Amino acid sequence: METVWTGTLKKMGVEAADPVQYRLRDGWFEAEKRAADHPLNAHLGSPLTIRFKGDINCTACGRKTKKTFGQGFCFPCSQSRAEADICIVRPELCHHGEPGNPCRDEEFAQSQCFQPHLLYCSLTSGVKVGITRLPNVPSRWIDQGATAAIPVAKLPDRRAVGLVEKRLSDAGHQDKTHWTRMLKGEVPEDADLAASAARVVAQLEEWGVEGILSELERLEHRFTYPVIEWPTKVKSFNLDRDPEVGGLLEGIKGQYLIFDRGVINVRKYSGYRVEILA
C-alpha cells in the first residue's frame, strides 16, 4: 500500500450526486497549508488504511492537544469560540442579549445564527425532525445519513427554529438518529416520511407558527449512498486505542466510512493528523 493523502481530519465534503460523492478535506487551521481534497468513492471495494500519526491539533487555532472538544477544538477554544457554545447543539438555549451571559462573538451571531433556518423532517434510522441554515441544504441531510428529507418551514433565525424543534420534540416527534440502524440501512416498516411531515405541518398550524412552506415547496429530496455491503454488526474503530484502522472499504454514509471490519466516524476525529494508504 502507498500513501495517497496526508492531512488533518475534519468533516468530509459531500456532493449530492447519485450516489453521494465524498471527499476528504484537510482541517488544518491555516487554509494556505491545507492538503488538497481527496475523492473517496473511487476507493470503494478496495483496501484502505487510516494511520493516525499521533498529533492532534485544534482546528481553530492549531494548538497541540491531547483531546478535542466539539468539532476538533482544544479546551480553550471550546470555552471561547461561538461555534463551540452550547446553543450550537441546543439552539433553544441561545443566550444572545443576556447581560450577564452575552454571545461569544456578535459577528458570528449575525452571520450564522440570525439568518433564515429550515425546519425539516428526514428519514435516517426512522423519521426525525431537524433544523439547518439554508446554505447547508442538502449537505446537512447527507451528513446525517438521511435517505430522504422534506423541508416544512422557514424561520427567521436559529433561536426561533430551535424553540419550535424543541416544542416538537417535547410533543413526541423524534429528533435523534439511531446511528447503528442508520449504518445498517435499517428503516422501520411503519416509517412514512410524507405522512410524518404532514403531521408536523398540522402541529405547526395548530400552534400558529409562521413560516410554514407551501405544499409546492415541501418537496421530498432523496439520496443514495455509495454502499456495496451493509454491515450486519456495527463495530466502531477508535484511533486513540488503535492508531491504524481500515480494511476493505464497503461503503460511505453520513460521516462514516464503512469497512468490512468496522466503521469510523470521520467527523469525530477532527483535528487528528492522519495518513491514508491505498
CA 194 – CA 219 distance, rounded (Å): 9
Judge residue 135's burial from the number of C-beta atoms within 10 Å of its C-beta, 0-12 exposed, 13-18 middle, 19 or more buried. exposed
If pLDDT is split at 50, 70 and 90, which confidence band does 186 have? confident
Name the pLDDT band for 238 (thresholds 50, 70, 90): very high
pLDDT tens-place string over residues 58-81: 999 999 999 999 889 999 999 999
pLDDT of residue 13: 98
Q: Parallel, antiparallel, or unpaired for β 38-39 and 117-123?
A: unpaired
Find how far residue 119's CA is from the centre of its chain.
Answer: 16
> pLDDT of 117-151, one tens digit each?
999 999 999 999 999 999 999 999 999 999 999 99
Written as one letter, the residue type at 187 is V
Query: CA triplet 31, 34, 38: central angle to 5 degrees?
Result: 130
Which residues is 224 bridged to in the sheet? none
Q: Which residue has the cell 485544534?
A: 58
Burial of 276 (0-12, 13-18, 19+ CB in 10 A): buried
Q: In what order do the strands lie in the sheet with 21-24?
A: 13-15, 21-24, 38-39
User: How far apart are alpha carbons 172 and 174 in whole angstroms?
Assistant: 6
> How far apart are alpha carbons 158 and 170 in whole angstroms?
18
Question: What is the predicted pLDDT for the residue at 16?
Answer: 97
Distance CA 108, CA 61 (A): 17
pTM: predicted TM-score of the whole model, two decimal places: 0.95
Count of residues making up the chain: 278
